Amino acid sequence: MHSPARHEQLLRIFHLIDLLLAARRGLSVSEIKDALRERGVIDDMSDRNLRRDIAFLTTCGYDVRESTTRA
């Protein structure tokens, strides 16, 4: 049986993939969190957890890049 936390993580991951694929430019961590809030996926989330989700995507083969400059 899967835990509710695992379900929430998978839901975040699916929405994160959708957001990143639809983005026409790079998104900041705060922009991603705002978009996930607007979709009702999260109430609050730490930057650290979001970075873990993004790291998970890269281990799954998604080409997600981090930049220190604004696009």
Task: Give pLDDT tens digits for 16-39.
Answer: 999 999 998 889 999 999 999 999
Task: Report the distance separating Cα 45 and Cα 30, nearest Å.
Answer: 10
Please tell me the pTM assigned to this model. Answer: 0.81
The confidence band for 65, taking pLDDT boundaries of 50, 70 and 90, is: confident
Q: Which two tokens stand for residue 15?
A: 């929405």
Are 60 and 30 spatial neighbours (Cβ–Cβ below 8 Å)? Answer: no
Are 14 and 57 spatial neighbours (Cβ–Cβ below 8 Å)? Answer: no
Helix (H, G, I), strand (E, B) or coil at 40: coil
Are 36 and 15 spatial neighbours (Cβ–Cβ below 8 Å)? Answer: yes
